Structures are given as C-alpha cells and as structure tokens.
C-alpha cells in the first residue's frame, strides 16, 4: 500500500483544543461506495474549522395542471395504480387485448364517469368546441372553412370571458426529486515558519491534483478525478457530508496583500486564502444521516405513514378479495 501523505495546518493543530476538519483524498475513483476505506486514501489534509460553516437543503417541485380527470385520478390513485398493475400482469401472462380493455373499464368505474358526465361536458366543453370547429372548418375547406374554425374557437373563448368564468386547472405541487448537496469552505492560512509554508504548498498541490482528471489508459478518455471524504473532528452538533468531488478550487496568495516571508532566501506569502466547492456524489434520502449527528434525528413522519407502495399493495389485496368473493373462491 502506498504511503499516505498526512498534511496538517498549522503544525500544532491537533494538539489544540479547538475543533478541526479532515479531508481524506482517495487513491482513485469508484462509482459506488460509502466512506473511503483507509487503504484507499492517498492523502489527508487537516484544517481548523473555517469562520463560516453552513449547510443547506433543497427539494425540487413543479406546478402541474392535473385537470378535472387528473385530479379525480389523484384522489383514487391506489385503485387506479392497482388496475394498471393487474393489467400488466395479465398481459405478461398472455391476457392479450382484454387486459388493456379492463384498464379503461376499471378506471371508468373507479372515477364513476357516468355520474360526473355533466361536469365533464362543461369542463372539457371548450376543448371539444375548439376541436369541433377545427373539424368543421377542415371539412368545409378553403378560406371559408378556416374562418369558421377560427370563429368557433373565438366564440368559446368570448363566452367564458362574458360569463366571468375561468376553468380550474387543478394545480398540484409535483415533487421532482432532490439534487446533489454542495458545500463551500473558505480558509485563511498564515504560515508561521518554513515547515508550514512547505505544508501549505503541498496541500494546495494535493487538492489541485484531486480535482483534475487523469489522461486515461486510452487517449480518447479521461480518468475520473479523485473523491474526497470531509469529516469533522466532532460532528455531534454539526452535520455529516457524503463522499464528494471538488468542483472549484481558488487560491489567493495575497490574502493580506503582497507581503512575503523570507524563507531560506525564497519569498513565501504571509497569508493564503483558499476557497473550495464540493459536490456530494450520492443523493440524500430521508433518514440516511450518519455519524454522531444521527443520534439527534427526529423520526420522520414518513416512517409512520403508509407509503405509496404499501397503499398499492393494500388496494391489490382488496381487489383480489373482492374478486374471490364474487367468484366464490376461498382464500
């Protein structure tokens, strides 16, 4: 196993009482893993905690117009999903076209379309009128036909405005997922001696090399950059960070202006400012916090509620029991 480069700044950091953070840089890229194993570590860099330390969480939603039928389907989602699932199973076992027909029948019965036929006609009437006008215009042909088609559409639109009504789009907040979390850190590092200036130069090299790709065994491809684990010396009251990649790395060698130390005849910056942006490589799901901070997790309501899958299974069981009752089967 190759030697691990251990870089600590400042020299006496680990003997101090304050908290600090470790950056564990991997030997090479691996697509799927939890934390980087000790034998895979290429270098470790240890810094004092930055002055600003924050994390954020975000979820993506879109505004979707379900329409009247879509809204009714959402209210009856388990039953409809169970119908599709049953039809899929029937098709896979050679059920043929009858399985597809059963879907329409089941959905119609579930939504009770006959009962709400009048509401459907009023709700979807404008679309039907527009389509009908277009069809009439196409049948008549020519300029006259086009004018008739346009007139019908305009009449429908004008009637809605005149009545002072607008169709309810039945908007819903549709969850689209979560993205990868990112973290940014800024460090102000002022070396006090030659060893710390040397360590600073080495850790800059380690981070720079970790974010750029390799040439690859074949010239037409890159080797992925290295991954990095970021670990706090004590994260009990902080947060955990999943295995990440370094997406931006900025070094300002004049953190306090153009001032330099004389180090054995060489000029070393008095203070260097380092800014880094990291992107986690796996998406977070509920309840997957790790480390000491996990002990403070409050049980998510999701753990106590019936999931969509469980609702679907329950509906399938109900439909199966109803079928057996109708056919006289026992079980």
pLDDT given for residue 49 in this prediction: 92
pLDDT given for residue 201 in this prediction: 94
DSSP SS3 for 99: helix
User: Which residue, of 175, 206, 231, is where some domain finishes?
Assistant: 175
Q: Check whether residue 118 and residue 164 sit in a common domain.
A: yes
Q: Check whether residue 81 and residue 165 sit in a common domain.
A: yes
Report, in angstroms and rounded to the nearest whole number, the Rg of the chain calculated over CA atoms: 32
Cα–Cα distance measured from residue 125 to residue 189, given in angstroms and rounded to the nearest whole number: 70
Number of domains, the chain? 2
The answer to the question of residue 326 being in a domain is no
Q: Check whether residue 82 and residue 150 sit in a common domain.
A: yes
Q: Check whether residue 87 and residue 165 sit in a common domain.
A: yes
pLDDT given for residue 331 in this prediction: 45
pLDDT given for residue 291 in this prediction: 55
Query: What are 166's two structure tokens?
Result: 């607008």
The answer to the question of residue 218 being in a domain is yes
Q: Check whether residue 45 and residue 114 sit in a common domain.
A: no
- How remote is the C-alpha of 126 from its chain's centroid? 38
The answer to the question of residue 45 being in a domain is yes
**Helix 142-163 vs helix 117-140: crossing angle, to nearest 10:** 150
The answer to the question of residue 120 being in a domain is yes
- Single out the residue of 54, 1, 41 nearest to residue 243, CA to CA: 41
139 neighbors 132 (Cβ within 8 angstroms): no
Q: Check whether residue 72 and residue 165 sit in a common domain.
A: yes
The answer to the question of residue 106 being in a domain is yes
Contacts 24+ apart (CB under 8 A), 109-113: 110/76, 110/79, 110/80, 110/83, 111/69, 111/72, 111/73, 111/76
pTM for this prediction: 0.71
Q: pLDDT by residue (tens digit) across 113-146?
A: 556 555 655 666 555 555 554 555 555 555 455 5
The answer to the question of residue 109 being in a domain is yes
Alpha-helical regions (H) of the chain? 67-75, 77-92, 97-111, 117-140, 142-163, 194-211, 308-327
User: Which residue, of 175, 209, 227, is where some domain finishes?
Assistant: 175
pLDDT given for residue 228 in this prediction: 93
Q: What is the mean pLDDT of each run of 10 residues along the chain (331 residues)?
A: 80 82 86 68 91 90 84 72 67 60 60 59 58 51 54 68 76 90 95 92 94 77 89 86 93 86 84 95 75 58 54 58 52 45
Tell me what percent of the chain is helix, strand and coil, each rounded to the nearest 5: 40, 25, 35
CB atoms within 10 A of CB 204: 18
Which CA distances in Å does 280 have to 24, 43, 47, 49? 14, 19, 20, 19
Q: Check whether residue 171 and residue 90 sit in a common domain.
A: yes
Q: Check whether residue 169 and residue 188 sit in a common domain.
A: no
Q: Check whether residue 133 and residue 67 sit in a common domain.
A: yes
Place of tokens 């789009």: 169
Q: pLDDT by residue (tens digit) across 159-213?
A: 767 777 777 888 889 899 899 999 999 999 999 999 999 999 999 999 999 999 8
Q: Check whether residue 212 and residue 166 sit in a common domain.
A: no
Strand partners, 280: 244
pLDDT given for residue 181 in this prediction: 93
Q: Is 259 left (phi over 0), alpha (psi -120 to 50) or beta?
A: beta
Query: What are 216's two structure tokens?
Result: 């690859």
pLDDT given for residue 263 in this prediction: 79
Q: Check whether residue 77 and residue 37 sit in a common domain.
A: no
Q: Check whether residue 207 and residue 104 sit in a common domain.
A: no
The answer to the question of residue 10 being in a domain is yes
Question: In terms of residue numbers, what domain contains 66?
Answer: 62-175
């Amino acid at each position: 196993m190759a030697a691990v480069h251990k870089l600590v700044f400042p020299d006496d950091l680990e003997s101090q009482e304050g908290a600090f953070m470790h950056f564990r840089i991997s030997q090479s890229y691996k697509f799927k893993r939890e934390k980087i194993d000790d034998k895979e570590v290429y270098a470790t860099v240890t810094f004092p905690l930055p002055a600003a330390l924050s994390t954020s969480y975000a979820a993506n939603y879109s505004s979707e117009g379900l329409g009247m039928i879509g809204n009714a389907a959402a209210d009856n989602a388990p039953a409809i999903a169970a119908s599709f699932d049953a039809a899929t199973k029937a098709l896979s076992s050679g059920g043929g076209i009858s399985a597809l027909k059963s879907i329409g029948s089941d959905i119609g019965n579930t939504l009770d379309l006959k009962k709400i036929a009048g509401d459907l006609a009023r709700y979807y009437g404008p679309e039907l009128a527009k389509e009908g006008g277009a069809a009439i215009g196409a049948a008549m042909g020519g300029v006259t036909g086009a004018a008739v088609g346009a007139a019908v559409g305009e009449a429908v639109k004008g009637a809605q405005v005149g009545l002072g009504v607008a169709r309810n789009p039945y908007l819903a907040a549709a969850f689209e997922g979560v993205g990868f979390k990112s973290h940014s850190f800024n460090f102000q590092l002022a070396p006090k001696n030659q060893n710390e200036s040397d360590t600073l130069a080495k850790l800059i090299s380690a981070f720079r090399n970790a974010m750029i790709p390799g040439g690859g065994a074949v010239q037409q491809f890159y080797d992925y950059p290295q991954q990095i684990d970021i670990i706090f010396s004590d994260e009990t009251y902080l947060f955990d960070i999943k295995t990440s990649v370094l997406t931006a790395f900025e070094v300002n060698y004049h953190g306090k202006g153009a001032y330099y130390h004389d180090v054995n005849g060489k000029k070393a910056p008095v203070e260097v400012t380092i800014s880094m942006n990291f992107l986690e490589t796996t998406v977070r799901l509920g309840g997957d916090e790790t480390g000491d901070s996990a002990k403070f997790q409050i049980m998510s309501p999701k753990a106590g509620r019936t999931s969509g899958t469980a609702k679907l299974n329950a509906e399938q069981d109900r439909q199966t029991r109803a079928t057996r009752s109708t056919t006289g089967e026992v079980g």
